[in-house]
Amino acid sequence: MIKPSNSNFWQSIINSVKSGWGKKKPALPKAKKINCRKVWELMDQYADLMVLGQDPRVLLPDVYQHLLACPKCKEELQALIRAIEADK
């Protein structure tokens, strides 16, 4: 994983996750339904995109849509973000 040098960046990501990704949502490509296993396979990539300042909601819309509906996967992402934040 790439570590950001700006802790404010990570705090904004954590706040976004905690608040349900914020109120403004970008225009998203049509997402396909995917299962938790597939989301877990892509979660590191999703987090890496966040670190790089890319919008994973647009680049991985299937994962984003799944995270909106699945509390278990959303918890996993939050835990991953906390682990990355603690590691920097």
- Where do the structural domains in the chain lie, given as residue ranges? 30-87
Please indicate whether residue 25 or residue 71 has the higher confidence score (pLDDT): 71
pLDDT band of residue 85 (cuts 50, 70, 90) is: confident
Note the pTM of the prediction, 2 decimals.
Answer: 0.63
Q: What is the pLDDT of residues 5-38, one digit of tens each?
A: 455 666 666 666 665 555 555 555 566 789 999 9
Alpha-carbon distance of 27 to 8, in angstroms, equals 25
Count how many Cα atoms sit within 13 Å of the Cα of residue 85 in the half-sphere of its side chain: 16
Contact call for residues 79 and 67 (beta carbons, < 8 A): no
Q: Give the number of C-alpha atoms closer than 13 A to the C-alpha of residue 41, restricted to the C-beta side.
A: 6
Report how far residue 79's alpha carbon sits from residue 8's, in angstroms, rounded to the nearest whole number: 18
DSSP state of 21: S
